[in-house]
Amino acid sequence: MDIKVVKVEKPEDMNFILGQAHFIKTVEDIHEAIVGTAPQMKFGLAFCESSGPALVRHSGNEPRLVELAKANALRIGAGHSFIIFIENGYPINILNAVKNVSEVCRIFCATANPVEVVIAETETGRGILGVIDGLKTKGVETEADIKARKDMLRRFGYKL
């Protein structure tokens, strides 16, 4: 078995969701879940089929994001993995809808951070072992950090 690290390539501030599902209809079902939950959101989605022709299946409503999703999915190349790039919203706006899609097995990350995907590769295929999401922790928040965190959440409208 070989262990590889694949960097997710994206614009610095772009959010995405990386997950695992189990069936070819995942692409259509996730597409419908996003549009039904956040119709203003622009997104591109790609899914790595793990049997038959083993293609990157794709969908979305923003061609540039679909291309980004296809390129990253092909580089990750792990069976049944999917990646969604989003604009005009945040992962929190669609995460529960995506998790509730019956084919979705797990979410590895939902972030705008730099991410590296840790891959195991054998003779039969590839699988995601996990992700490295963002920076190493630098310390514990101070009272000023707590105030800044709470202010930011209120500014974004997530808390009253």
Pair 13, 132: CB distance under 8 Å: no
Distances, alpha carbon 65 to alpha carbons 5, 42, 68, in Å: 22, 8, 5
Q: What is the mean pLDDT of residues 30-58?
A: 97
131: β partners: 117
CATH code, domain carrying 135: 3.40.1520.10
Arithmetic mean of pLDDT over the chain: 96
Q: Is residue 160 part of a domain?
A: no
Backbone CA torsion sign across 105, 109, 110, 116? negative
Report how far Cα 38 is from the mean position of its chain's Cα atoms: 16
The predicted pLDDT at position 73 comes to 98
Provide, rounded to the nearest whole percent, the portion of the chain with pLDDT above 90. Answer: 94
**Number of separate domains in the chain:** 1
Please state, in angstroms and rounded to a whole number, the distance separating the CA atoms of residues 81 and 50. 9
Q: Which H/E stretch holds residue 102? A: none
Residue-number span of the structural domain to which 98 is assigned: 2-155
| pTM listed for this prediction | 0.93
115 located within any domain:
yes
